[in-house]
Chain A
Amino acid sequence: MIKLEGVSKTYGAGPTAVHALKNIDLEVPKGAIHGVIGLSGAGKSTLIRCVNLLERPTEGHVIVDGQDLTQQDSEALRQSRHQLGMIFQHFNLLASRTVFDNVALPLELMGVSKGEIRERVEPLLDLTGLTDKATQYPAQLSGGQKQRVAIARALASRPKVLLCDEATSALDPQTTASILELLQDINRKLGLTILLITHEMEVVKSICHRVGLISDGELVEEADVGDFFTAPATRLGREFLNAFLELEPPQALVERLEETPGEHTHPVVRLAFSGANVATPLISRLARDSGVDVSILQAKVESIQGRTLGLMIAELVGTPETTSQALKQLESHDINVEVLGHVQRNA
């Protein structure tokens, strides 16, 4: 449904040029919810703005539903934009219009008749739970209600794609959850393809099917959400995951960690179990089979879109031989093992 081919965006020229996006390839199939996560300034906003050409890419092609938007003239592009609804972090509602008239705006722009506007807006207000707010002005609404109006407005032109630019970043966690639920709902009911950008792992975890990680203008990692939460491929991916899961080793331990194993050190490992492994008593079995003692420093279980994910930080106490055997045993069980470092024995 959405295809970006070699999209680059450069501001300015020469040595002071800023490369906001570098050769991005991205494909979002019809009906998918695709997330792009990244830190501030990584290029997320530029990326999503390139999809409906609010920002024109310096290079590359943006293909939506088979149409190459980068090749279209301004009139054709305006028509194409009716296929691409967009919602924003700060809602961008017109303060001078009621809820109803805000939702009606895209239809007015398309020249839809008054009668048809009424017929099309009312079901949208119903879908977004705003029927009783129709005559109110945005200033009278809460943030969550405003974003619902923006969603209804974005759906008014019956788009095939919904672009969400940090749509929940200005909302509290509870409201975020209800907006995400609404997005998931319309994805299912209307078969709408959703591309969202966010800096919140929670958003990715709750509704995305696939996720891309953007860093310094480059898509550095792309994976199914279940895989991304079990075993991110990049260092940045792991940082996002650890910050989200709040699974960092205790500070006192971090200070004692050494990068290379010494004569009398134990490895400290982060283990990520998924699927059936979570329910298996692997640790006690490991202790029995390999003869190492496992000292669990931290552990938690997360449920990510029906998949269970177990995470643990543990110190493996044994001889170099037994601990390396233990690590092998863990890996053979398809557990993601990351050695964080080594600590001195009896320290």
Chain B
Amino acid sequence: MSSAMLELILEATLDTLYMVALAGAVSAVIGIPLGVLLYVTRPGQILAQPVAQRVLGVVTNIGRSIPFIILMVAIIPFTRLIVGSSIGTNAAIVPLIIAAIPFVARLVEGALNEIPPGLIEAAQAMGATPLQIITKVLLPEAKGGIINGLTITVVTLVSYSAMAGAVGGGGLGDLGIRYGYNRFEPLIMLITVAILVVMVQGFQSLGDRLVRKADHK
């Protein structure tokens, strides 16, 4: 294999990591609060807002039901507004974030759901404010579950990022399609898939280790 080819593979790997890392980080920053909001505004919860909760839930579901490839194309004007261009790696990150936010939010909501309701009651009995309940009880107690959710999100982002080629986003998936499929170079296809497998394994075991560290159950 030529050194130019190796360079291409290296570049694609870094592109994928860049897209996944940035999209993962931004979607976590927005998705975690959104997940908390989905949870605490439920009927009977500490900041119950049943109507707002319903609306938020529907919006989240809509976000989750749009196929990524369609989302990517559909939001091109928005992407152009944010990053100034509708093609390239950065342009691919915008739809990745949009797709990952509701995903993260639902996983966080699910993690919070695992907390025994008695803990919230105990904190209320101690005179905790809703914000204190979120920061001192909900988030620390759900830490393991949230990290687990973020791990799943990152792994999903790795696979979504393979579609980034559709908007000229680069990355391993794009390389695999263009060289491996379109140019009939099965070796390139094999290598990109192998790198993706290793990447996913790596993220998963890192996530598992962090969950173990966070959980004292």
A residues touching B (Cβ–Cβ < 8 Å)? Answer: 52, 54, 77-82, 84, 86, 88, 90, 92, 94-97, 105-106, 108-110, 137-139, 153, 157, 163
Beyond A94-B119, A95-B141, whether A106 also contacts B216 by CB under 8 A is no
Residues of B within 8 A of A81 (CB): 124-127
Beyond A106-B126, A106-B127, A109-B127, whether A92 also contacts B137 by CB under 8 A is no
Whether, in the assembled complex, B183 has its beta carbon less than 8 Å from a beta carbon of chain A, the answer is no
B127 touches A79 (CB 8 A): yes
Residues of A within 8 A of B123 (CB): 105, 109
Point out the residue from A52, A90, A97 that lies within 8 Å of B125, measured CB to CB. Answer: A52
Residue on A nearest B128 in the bound complex, by CB: A109
Interface extent on B, as a size class? 20 to 34
Point out the residue from A88, A95, A108 that lies within 8 Å of B122, measured CB to CB. Answer: A88
B residues touching A (Cβ–Cβ < 8 Å)? Answer: 116, 118-119, 121-129, 132, 136-137, 140-141, 143, 214-217
- 6 A–B contacts, CB within 8 A, in A order: A82-B127, A84-B125, A88-B118, A97-B140, A106-B126, A109-B127
Beyond A90-B116, A95-B216, whether A110 also contacts B127 by CB under 8 A is yes
Q: Considering the complex of A and B, which 3 residue pairs feature the smallest CB-CB distances, nearest first?
A: A81-B127, A92-B122, A137-B216
B126 touches A139 (CB 8 A): no
Residue on A nearest B139 in the bound complex, by CB: A96
* A-B contacts besides A95-B141, A95-B216, A109-B128, 19 pairs, CB < 8 Å: A78-B127, A79-B127, A84-B125, A86-B125, A88-B121, A88-B122, A90-B116, A92-B118, A92-B122, A94-B119, A95-B215, A96-B141, A96-B216, A105-B136, A109-B126, A139-B216, A153-B126, A157-B126, A157-B127
B118 touches A108 (CB 8 A): no
Q: Write the nearest CB–CB distance from B117 to chain A, whole angstroms.
A: 9
A139 touches B125 (CB 8 A): no
B121 touches A92 (CB 8 A): yes
Residue of A77, A86, A90, A109 ringed by the most chain B CB atoms within 10 A: A109
Point out the residue from A94, A108, A109, A153 that lies within 8 Å of B141, measured CB to CB. Answer: A94
B127 touches A139 (CB 8 A): no
Beyond A90-B116, A90-B118, A139-B216, whether A96 also contacts B140 by CB under 8 A is yes
Residues of B within 8 A of A163 (CB): 125
Q: Write the nearest CB–CB distance from A194 to chain B, whole angstroms.
A: 15
Task: A110 to B116: give the CA distance in the assembly, Å.
Answer: 23
Beyond A52-B125, A79-B127, A109-B132, whether A94 also contacts B118 by CB under 8 A is no
Q: Write the nearest CB–CB distance from B108 to chain A, whole angstroms.
A: 16
Task: A88 to B121: give the CA distance in the assembly, Å.
Answer: 10
B140 touches A86 (CB 8 A): no
Point out the residue from A92, A105, A139 that lies within 8 Å of B217, measured CB to CB. Answer: A139
Point out the residue from B125, B127, B132, B137 that lies within 8 Å of A94, measured CB to CB. Answer: B137
Task: A52 to B128: give the CA distance in the assembly, Å.
Answer: 13
Residue on A nearest B142 in the bound complex, by CB: A96
Task: A52 to B121: give the CA distance in the assembly, Å.
Answer: 11
Residues of A within 8 A of B132 (CB): 109
Beyond A109-B128, A110-B127, whether A86 also contacts B216 by CB under 8 A is no
Point out the residue from A90, A95, A105 that lies within 8 Å of B126, measured CB to CB. Answer: A105
Residues of B within 8 A of A139 (CB): 216-217
Residues of A within 8 A of B216 (CB): 95-96, 137-139
Residues of A within 8 A of B126 (CB): 81-82, 105-106, 109, 153, 157
Q: Write the nearest CB–CB distance from B164 to chain A, whole angstroms.
A: 37
B217 touches A95 (CB 8 A): yes
Residue of B122, B128, B140, B215 ringed by the most chain A CB atoms within 10 A: B122
Residues of A within 8 A of B129 (CB): 78, 109
Residues of B within 8 A of A92 (CB): 116, 118-119, 121-122
Residue on B nearest A137 in the bound complex, by CB: B216
Residues of A within 8 A of B214 (CB): 96
Residue on B nearest A88 in the bound complex, by CB: B118
